[in-house]
């Protein structure tokens, strides 16, 4: 943002005004009540905003084109509005949202100004030329194996402490599915459940019990994660430099979240690794050009990662479709060049892979006897919106009577939690069978209540998914299911049920999760867990690439952006594990943002 002659000499008073705005926003950020799943970023936002304000006013000398203002102003307004709404959301209060009216206009204007300053500052940094990666080196054979050994050595402490591994709520479902005690269903990924089952069968074949099977799973998963993350470290060593690679290696090895996840039986542990690898592949493709991605080995890697993401989580196929669409759009110009045959083959391969994914997860699963997930699992957001309207909105006596078939309204008012999608559905008085057998009646109730409860429906959505885009939030609660199961009870599995008495508290794992959450809330460290802030930073980088007509640099940020985008549509509970892909891929995303900047031309006297 260039300082025109009319602005010169006014930097100090303008800076003072904006610092006052930063003080104001910092004040009400610090006074925000905390919810159970995230914390406010007030302690770190104030100095960050002050530094960015100083930078924007006194350090940026490049002009901002008009098109950048056309993007920055409305996006900053959206960010400010989301922060304002999130600031007034208190899940445990009698009314979850404090009243928002014209009296909050000054607060919104403060948020708008701060977000605009931050947006322009990041955009200017992305446009500023960078020095060449002088510390970058070629690939060294010892970097990858040394990284694998170091990570496994550090993570082994978690396995020894929580032998044979950490089991959370979803782990028990995977164990039941893997052992064949439940009919196979796709609510939990089928391939993941089959993998768990194979580990258990191998353990039983070897003369061990369920605990040995869980230990085998933990070891194999930790090795796979270490190999994937070591690939990231090796690439950073070759492309950015050994300092960046060393910092990434320390981050991967010492992060308590990654250490716990390496031995936790949960589908998200590997899903986040596939997202990080996709970001890495696309960063390399952006550096090499679209022709590189259509080569046999890179395209094979892309197809394998699309399959891995599709079969790792329920929203995986939709993320894969979005990624494939972006890749096709980027490589389409190659149809007019000499490599048009290779480009056409790459497009057809992606279409074929995605078609096979939907065929396998549809007709083939039904042929194999894989039952679909319960209807109650697929309508989590509509059920939450209806329950919100019953508790905090408007409902006629006829609508309450229909709702009563699922759960008595008085009971719903007792157990309803505006920030947890399953708070009503998991209550002992909730009739899941009725909901599964009467989908048309339920959707009719949802449509009938919508007319008088537009605000309640929007509030219910924000209570579940708004935290993913609230710039003020960061996540410091991990493995919230550790109190539901412990590894040393695994051998008792055949004599338990999902909520059996043997499912006692794993106090050690729960305590470590609380310690990790406390460490994550420290100033500076908390930035590693500000996933909504990372979402907006990735969006800023993608916008910078589009404004500069360098669409290739949208791709490295697309996997994480699509991951969050699908969460905004599905609206599950706001939890770290759903967006942990950003935490794991953070070194790659930072490297992509740095590498997308233009390289500074060397002065003649410094040239060779």
Contact 539, 547 (CB under 8 A): no
* 471 upstream amide cis, omega within 30 of 0: no
Could you give the count of Cα atoms lying within 13 Å of 103 in the half-sphere of its Cβ? 4
Question: Please, are residues 408 and 488 in contact by the beta-carbon 8 Å criterion?
Answer: no
CA–CA gap between residue 253 and residue 155 (Å, rounded): 7
Residue 196 in contact with residue 293, Cβ under 8 Å? Answer: no
Contact 556, 248 (CB under 8 A): no
The angle that helices 439-450 and 397-404 make with each other, rounded to 10 degrees, is 150
In degrees rounded to 5, what are phi and psi of residue 298? Answer: -60, -40
Tokens at residue 183, please? 């009919």
Identify the CA nearest to 71 among candidates 125, 119, 108. 119
4 class by beta-carbon count within 10 Å (0-12 exposed, 13-18 middle, 19+ buried): exposed
- C-beta neighbour count of 352 within 10 angstroms: 11
100-125 pLDDT, tens digit per residue, is 667 777 777 877 777 787 777 777 77
Alpha-carbon gap, residue 197 to 204, rounded angstroms:
11
Encode 209-258 in three state secondary structure.
Answer: CHHHHHHHHHHHHHHHHHHHHHHHHHHHHHHCCHHHHHHHHHHHHHCHHH
Q: Which residues pair with 97 in a beta bridge?
A: 89
Show the tokens assigned to 39.
């914390």
Look at residue 604 in the predicted model and tell me its pLDDT.
45
Residues in the chain: 608
pLDDT recorded at residue 337: 62
In this predicted structure, what is the pLDDT of residue 152?
A: 94
Q: Is 40 helix (H, G, I), strand (E, B) or coil?
A: strand
pLDDT of 30: 46
- Which residues in the chain show pLDDT less than 70? 1-66, 91-101, 129-139, 334-339, 476-527, 571-572, 599-608
Which pLDDT belongs to residue 278? 94
Per-residue pLDDT at 174:
81
- What is the 3-class SS of 465-490, one letter each residue? HHHHCCCCEECCCCCCCHHHCCHHHH
Instruction: Spell out the domain ranges in the chain.
Output: 11-128, 375-468
């Amino acid at each position: 943002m260039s300082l025109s002659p009319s602005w010169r000499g006014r930097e100090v008073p303008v800076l003072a005004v904006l610092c006052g705005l930063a003080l104001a926003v910092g004040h009400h950020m610090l006074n925000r009540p905390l919810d159970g799943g995230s914390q406010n970023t007030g302690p770190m936002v104030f100095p960050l905003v002050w530094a960015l304000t100083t930078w924007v006013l006194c350090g940026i000398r490049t002009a901002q084109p008009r098109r950048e203002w056309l993007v920055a102003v409305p996006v900053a307004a959206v960010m400010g509005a989301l922060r304002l709404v999130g600031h007034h959301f208190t899940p445990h209060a009698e009314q979850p949202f404090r009243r928002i009216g014209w009296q909050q206009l000054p607060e919104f204007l403060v948020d708008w100004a701060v977000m605009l300053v931050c947006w322009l500052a990041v955009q200017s940094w992305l446009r500023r030329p960078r020095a060449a990666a002088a510390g970058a080196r070629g690939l060294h054979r010892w970097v990858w194996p040394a990284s694998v050994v170091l990570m496994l050595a550090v993570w082994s402490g978690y396995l020894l402490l929580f032998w044979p591994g950490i089991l959370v709520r979803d782990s028990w479902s995977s164990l039941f599915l893997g052992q064949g005690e439940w009919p196979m269903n796709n609510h939990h990924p089928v391939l993941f459940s089959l993998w768990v089952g194979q580990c258990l069968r191998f353990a039983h074949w070897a003369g061990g019990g369920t605990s040995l099977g869980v230990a085998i799973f933990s070891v194999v998963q930790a090795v796979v994660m270490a190999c994937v993350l070591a690939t990231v470290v090796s690439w950073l060593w070759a492309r950015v430099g050994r300092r960046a690679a060393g910092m990434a290696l320390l981050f991967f090895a010492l992060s308590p979240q990654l250490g716990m996840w390496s031995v936790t039986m949960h589908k998200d542990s590997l899903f986040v690794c596939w997202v990080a690898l996709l970001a890495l592949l696309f960063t390399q493709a952006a550096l090499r050009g679209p022709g590189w991605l259509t080569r046999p080995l890179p395209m094979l890697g892309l197809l394998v990662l699309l399959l891995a993401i599709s079969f790792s989580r329920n929203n995986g196929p939709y993320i894969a479709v979005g990624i494939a669409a972006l890749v096709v759009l980027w490589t389409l110009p190659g149809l007019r060049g000499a490599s048009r045959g290779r480009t056409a083959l790459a497009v057809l391969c992606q279409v074929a892979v995605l078609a096979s994914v939907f065929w396998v997860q549809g007709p083939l699963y039904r042929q194999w006897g894989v039952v679909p997930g319960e209807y109650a699992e697929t309508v989590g957001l509509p059920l939450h919106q209806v329950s919100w309207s019953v508790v905090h909105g408007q409902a006629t006596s006829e609508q309450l009577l229909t709702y009563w078939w699922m759960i008595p309204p008085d009971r719903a008012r007792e157990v309803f939690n505006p920030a947890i999608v399953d708070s009503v559905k998991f209550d002992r008085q909730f009739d899941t069978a009725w909901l599964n057998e009467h989908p048309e009646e339920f959707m009719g109730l949802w449509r009938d209540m919508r007319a008088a409860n537009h605000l309640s429906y929007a509030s219910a959505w924000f209570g579940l998914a708004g935290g993913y885009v609230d710039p003020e939030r960061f996540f410091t609660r991990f493995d919230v299911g550790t109190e539901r199961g412990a590894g040393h009870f695994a051998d008792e599995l055949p004599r338990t049920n999902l909520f059996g008495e043997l499912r006692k508290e794993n106090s050690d794992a729960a305590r470590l999760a609380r310690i990790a959450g406390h460490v994550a809330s420290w100033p500076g460290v908390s930035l590693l867990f500000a996933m909504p802030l990372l979402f907006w930073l990735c969006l800023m980088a993608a916008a910078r690439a589009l404004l500069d007509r360098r669409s290739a640099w949208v791709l490295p940020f697309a996997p994480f952006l699509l991951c969050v985008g699908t969460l905004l549509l599905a609206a599950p509970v706001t939890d770290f594990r759903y967006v942990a892909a950003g935490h794991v891929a953070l070194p790659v995303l930072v490297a992509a943002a740095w590498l997308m900047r233009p390289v500074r031309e060397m002065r003649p006297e410094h040239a060779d």
